[in-house]
A and B are shown apart, each in its own frame.
Chain A
């Protein structure tokens, strides 16, 4: 990689080629290129159309339940003994996570484009449930690709998708997890080019998805900005979020990119430890490479075969990361920390016991690094953590790790 130039306007990225510095791009088969260009043009037009924004705003308010609260976590604050900790309560959204913000935006776009069939990939099933939900709401057929391994470990979400009328197709190729589900969704898209809209669930994939998903998720950071100014009269000193593909993190980071005084922390899943081969920390444990349409940090072997990720959290169990995160890492605007499976389980319990909130095991990765983040900003600091989802879906996983049966 070239030595990155420090940008003076972070919001101006990606460039016209879908690049964040060296990262991003459109590495897709030629069959898809016209569709990718069509999507980009349609997204531009929608973005510029006040009617689209009004329509989306209405559904976010009345159907999703936005704005989500910014909650002062008094007992967590006392526990860490310093900086004030606020939780952005994305887990209170309809369907239980931030994923629906993006799905609502993309389904409205798909309908504007005249698409009549929706496909998606899912890991934990949260994005699949959110996609199935908006498809039910707008009466569109929905097919969700899900790794066979994930189908096994996230059974309640598979059932939820079925109840919502979606067809869940288990994927047995490769490692039978999220990356393979994404391959299969791409194969579907390349096969059904006329009527199908691919509703990607994170800030990954080819341009314009990383930008578009970030924009739809930026409602999180925009609300935080307003809410924290109301209660504290100033911006936070740090914002922290877990990073799988990186959509909840990008959504809360993006409105603060230009505020150099706001430190941005992403937390990657270190699984059993970044020193083992069982982790999902693309930035801390990977190198730049191309997967699913963009150049970004990636877990891969010496020659470039993609290696399997591992995390207790199915939603973070992905060998890549969105290209904007790779760039923010390289230019030093954001810091990428890690939390192991065990760290996250401990944080899950702590949050439940101190705040009466069961966090998603994904979000618990961010909670786990409050130790370092609160220290970094000091006693008078303010920290905002994106509580990206609720943990009801994870109780069986947590029980199994605690050696209990439920």
Chain B
């Protein structure tokens, strides 16, 4: 539900800090472990959670999330399985917003209206569809609206002011600012370059702005947390999963400990700083 996202950003604002958004892929490395990771993320400091649903051809992802999708698909994850995962999470957590993120073909196959209904019923609060620009997203926006789920749009370094007006139409919850032109997990974000763009998007949309793509370390996360309303980290968490699997370590513990260090960096970023 939209309200869960709005409530969370209102609370963050009251606390005077940025939120930490953790991205993980549903079913990575397998459904049971992913469920444990999800359940543990709020305790590790995640204020919102983005859950990727795996697709065979993720054209905007860099190698880490591509490999996560392959692991998840290999372990049998589906969009149905993703919704089941969210439903399971919701049984134990009614406040942490969940945003699904993925590619449109699975939704086309499911049917937009049925998907919006099923996602809402599972406890999904928002949806990001990477390959669905505003020009193509009206039918999905209608379906999600009717079910109280936010359609979250992306603004990018290539979005000029005229384009921004198009991007923010019918967007709710927050706007996702993609900090670098590129795929996930390759280039590094630059806080100085991001700051004016966050301000621009915030002003145009009147919504909180989450910044993602290219944030890998606690230091970088803290820098971005000083200028953005939320900081999204995906590839760096997903890489922990890959490494833990390879080294035969406890996957859940390893991801949650990385999440914890990122969350701490985000939470303390503005301490002693006059609020932005």
Judge if B62 is at the interface, Cβ distance under 8 Å. Answer: yes
Judge if A57 is at the interface, Cβ distance under 8 Å. Answer: no
**B109 and A34: CB pair below 8 A?**
no
Question: Complex: how many Å from CA A70 to CA B132?
Answer: 44
Chain B 94-113 near chain A by CB (<8 Å), digits 1 or 0? 00000000011110111000
Residues of chain B lying within 8 A (CB to CB) of residue A295: 108
Among the listed stretches B11-19, B177-185, B202-210, B227-235, which one makes contact with chain A, having 4 or more residues with CB under 8 Å of it? B177-185
Among the listed stretches A161-169, A179-187, A211-219, A236-244, which one makes contact with chain B, having 4 or more residues with CB under 8 Å of it? A179-187
Chain A 13-32 near chain B by CB (<8 Å), digits 1 or 0? 00001000000011111111
| Complex: chain A residue closest to B137, CB-CB | A27
Q: How near does chain B come to A22, taking the closest CB pair, in angstroms?
A: 11
- Interfacial residues of chain A within 273-310, with CB under 8 A of chain B in the complex: 288-293, 295, 298, 300, 302-307
Q: Could you say which of B62, B109, B167, B181 contacts A304, with CB atoms under 8 Å apart?
A: B109
- Interfacial residues of chain B within 105-126, with CB under 8 A of chain A in the complex: 105-106, 108-110
**B109 and A190: CB pair below 8 A?**
no
| Complex: chain A residue closest to B80, CB-CB | A303
Judge if B157 is at the interface, Cβ distance under 8 Å. Answer: yes
Residues of chain B lying within 8 A (CB to CB) of residue A183: 57-59
Question: Complex: how many Å from CA A302 to CA B110?
Answer: 10
Question: Complex: how many Å from CA A345 to CA B80?
Answer: 43
Residues of chain A lying within 8 A (CB to CB) of residue B57: 174, 179-180, 183, 291-292, 306
Residues of chain B lying within 8 A (CB to CB) of residue A306: 56-57, 105
Q: Could you say which of A31, A179, A292, A293 contacts B178, with CB atoms under 8 Å apart?
A: A31
Residues of chain B lying within 8 A (CB to CB) of residue A226: none
- Interface bin, chain A: 35 or more
Judge if A354 is at the interface, Cβ distance under 8 Å. Answer: no
Question: Complex: how many Å from CA A397 to CA B157?
Answer: 46
Q: Could you say which of A25, A289, A302 contacts B136, with CB atoms under 8 Å apart?
A: A25
Q: How near does chain B come to A169, taking the closest CB pair, in angstroms?
A: 14
Given A290-B108, A305-B56, A305-B73, check contact A173 B66 (CB 8 Å). yes
Among the listed stretches B1-9, B44-52, B158-166, B216-224, which one makes contact with chain A, having 4 or more residues with CB under 8 Å of it? B158-166
Question: Complex: how many Å from CA A291 to CA B183?
Answer: 17
**A31 and B163: CB pair below 8 A?**
no
Question: Complex: how many Å from CA A29 to CA B133?
Answer: 7
Residues of chain B lying within 8 A (CB to CB) of residue A288: 108
**B60 and A190: CB pair below 8 A?**
yes
**A290 and B104: CB pair below 8 A?**
yes
| Complex: chain A residue closest to B79, CB-CB | A303
**B135 and A33: CB pair below 8 A?**
yes
**A193 and B131: CB pair below 8 A?**
no
Q: How near does chain B come to A206, taking the closest CB pair, in angstroms?
A: 9
Main secondary structure of the interface of A (DSSP, over half): mixed
Judge if A191 is at the interface, Cβ distance under 8 Å. Answer: yes
Question: Complex: how many Å from CA A295 to CA B104?
Answer: 10
Residues of chain A lying within 8 A (CB to CB) of residue B186: 191
| Complex: chain B residue closest to A295, CB-CB | B108
**B131 and A293: CB pair below 8 A?**
yes
Question: Complex: how many Å from CA A26 to CA B163?
Answer: 15
Residues of chain A lying within 8 A (CB to CB) of residue B136: 25-27
**B159 and A30: CB pair below 8 A?**
yes
**A30 and B167: CB pair below 8 A?**
yes
**B159 and A29: CB pair below 8 A?**
no
Q: Could you say which of A26, A30, A191, A290 contacts B105, with CB atoms under 8 Å apart?
A: A290
Among the listed stretches B29-37, B148-156, B192-200, B237-245, which one makes contact with chain A, having 4 or more residues with CB under 8 Å of it? B148-156
Q: How near does chain A come to B119, taking the closest CB pair, in angstroms?
A: 15
Residues of chain A lying within 8 A (CB to CB) of residue B63: 173
| Complex: chain B residue closest to A31, CB-CB | B156
Question: Complex: how many Å from CA A211 to CA B108?
Answer: 23
Judge if A35 is at the interface, Cβ distance under 8 Å. Answer: yes
Residues of chain A lying within 8 A (CB to CB) of residue B135: 17, 25-26, 33
Chain B 247-272 near chain A by CB (<8 Å), digits 1 or 0? 00000000000000000000000000
Judge if B20 is at the interface, Cβ distance under 8 Å. Answer: no
Question: Complex: how many Å from CA A33 to CA B136?
Answer: 11
**B79 and A27: CB pair below 8 A?**
no
Given A173-B66, A179-B57, A290-B131, check contact A34 B159 (CB 8 Å). yes
| Complex: chain A residue closest to B106, CB-CB | A304
**B108 and A292: CB pair below 8 A?**
no
Question: Complex: how many Å from CA A179 to CA B57?
Answer: 8
Chain A 27-46 near chain B by CB (<8 Å), digits 1 or 0? 11111111100000000000
Q: How near does chain A come to B212, taking the closest CB pair, in angstroms?
A: 13
Question: Complex: how many Å from CA A300 to CA B181?
Answer: 29
Q: How near does chain B come to A44, taking the closest CB pair, in angstroms?
A: 17
| Complex: chain B residue closest to A36, CB-CB | B133
Question: Complex: how many Å from CA A187 to CA B167?
Answer: 21
| Complex: chain A residue closest to B178, CB-CB | A31
Question: Complex: how many Å from CA A191 to CA B73?
Answer: 26
Residues of chain A lying within 8 A (CB to CB) of residue B56: 174, 305-307
Q: How near does chain B come to A294, taking the closest CB pair, in angstroms?
A: 10
Among B73, B79, B103, the most chain A Cβ lie within 10 Å of the Cβ of B103
Q: Could you say which of B130, B160, B163, B187 contacts A29, with CB atoms under 8 Å apart?
A: B130
Judge if B23 is at the interface, Cβ distance under 8 Å. Answer: no
Residues of chain A lying within 8 A (CB to CB) of residue B109: 289, 300, 302-304
**A191 and B131: CB pair below 8 A?**
no
Among A29, A179, A291, A306, the most chain B Cβ lie within 10 Å of the Cβ of A29
| Complex: chain A residue closest to B109, CB-CB | A304
Q: How near does chain B come to A302, taking the closest CB pair, in angstroms?
A: 8
Judge if B55 is at the interface, Cβ distance under 8 Å. Answer: yes
**A27 and B131: CB pair below 8 A?**
yes
Given A305-B55, A305-B73, check contact A191 B108 (CB 8 Å). no
Given A27-B104, A27-B133, 20 extra CB contacts under 8 A: A26-B133, A27-B136, A29-B131, A29-B154, A31-B60, A31-B181, A33-B135, A173-B63, A174-B57, A179-B57, A187-B62, A190-B181, A288-B108, A291-B57, A291-B105, A292-B59, A300-B105, A303-B109, A304-B110, A306-B105
A-B contact pairs, 9 of them (CB 8 A): A33-B163, A187-B59, A187-B183, A190-B182, A300-B109, A304-B106, A304-B108, A304-B109, A307-B56
Ranked nearest first, the 10 interchain pairs of A and B with the lowest CB-CB distance are: A304-B109, A191-B182, A31-B156, A305-B56, A30-B154, A304-B105, A290-B105, A304-B106, A29-B60, A306-B56
